[in-house]
Amino acid sequence: MALNASTTLPYDAAAVTRVFTDEGFLQHMSRHVGGALESLTVDGEITGPFTLTAVRTMPTTRLPDMARKFVGETLTVTQTERWAAPAADGSREARVEMAVAGVPLSVTAVQRLVADGEKTRVDLQGAVSSSIPFLGGKIAGAAEPMIGKALNIQAAEAQRWLETH
């Protein structure tokens, strides 16, 4: 299933990068959806190219019943983001991969932070796929709008975080 989402934050791309990679913010986001941040590693400096790997446990309460039968009460999700160095205007790009332990569901995407003066447009484009016979398309279809919604929640929470920290 195709994944496309976009939102704008009233902060420059450097500030958005800092909040999207801040351990406190990532813990907050995990708790916000009822999960927990189990581990976080950042290889490299966020001012240049770097790789962020976050492992979270997430509740399955928002998944369709048919999916919960297969995965149980929680999921362990590993998200790897390979960030390029910022462009001259501060814009950035990250290649994002998400894998769910024990579930043949994957997300591959490109997240762009597009600098627009003091604002940043966050664009996410990618695909959600599942190789479960017969149900894979339905599961991927159910996951796709949840991921788009998650981007909007992340942006709203990032704005609140930046206003208070």
Q: Which residues, other chains included, contact 134 with Cβ-Cβ below 8 Å and sequence gap of 6+?
A: none
Fold of 2-164: Alpha-D-Glucose-1,6-Bisphosphate; Chain A, domain 4 (3.30.530)
Q: Which of 77, 88, 159 is nearest to 122 (CA)?
A: 159
The whole-number pLDDT of residue 155 equals 78
Span 77-125, pLDDT tens digits:
899 999 999 999 999 999 999 888 877 778 889 999 999 989 999 998 8
Sequence ranges of the domains in the chain: 2-164
pTM of this structure: 0.84
Span 30-71, pLDDT tens digits:
998 889 999 999 999 999 999 999 999 988 776 666 666 666
The whole-number pLDDT of residue 51 equals 98
In whole angstroms, give the CA distance from residue 28 to residue 21. Answer: 12
In whole angstroms, give the CA distance from residue 92 to residue 11. Answer: 14
Rounded (10°) CA dihedral 9, 89, 79, 148:
40
